[in-house]
Amino acid sequence: MSNKKQLFRVFSDVLKVDVKSLDESSSPDTIPNWDSLAVINLVGELEQIFKVQFDILEIADFQNIGIIKSILEEKGVFFNDV
C-alpha cells in the first residue's frame, strides 16, 4: 500500500468514516468523529505506521489532513501523488 493510501486508511479507520469521503481538506469541522480522543488515537497510529515521532506542539497543529501530511513530509515520509 502506498504511503498516501495508508495515510487516508488511518483517518478512515480511526474516524470510522468511508475513505472515499476524505480528502486533504478534511478537518474536525467536516468530520464529526474528529474529536480530542480521535486526535490521541491518530497520533498513536501515525507514529507507529510511519515510524516517526511528532513534536508535542505539532499535535496542536493537526488542523486538517493536508497539514498533517506536510508535517509527515517534513519528517521524511514521501507521498507520491501519482
Interface residues with other proteins (CB under 8 A) are 13-14, 36-37, 39-41, 43-45, 48-49, 54, 56, 59
Cβ nearer to other proteins, comparing 43 with 65: 43
The grid coordinates listed for 48 are 507507529
- CA–CA separation, 32 and 69 (whole Å): 20
- CA–CA separation, 49 and 46 (whole Å): 5
Cβ nearer to other proteins, comparing 49 with 67: 49
Cβ nearer to other proteins, comparing 25 with 41: 41
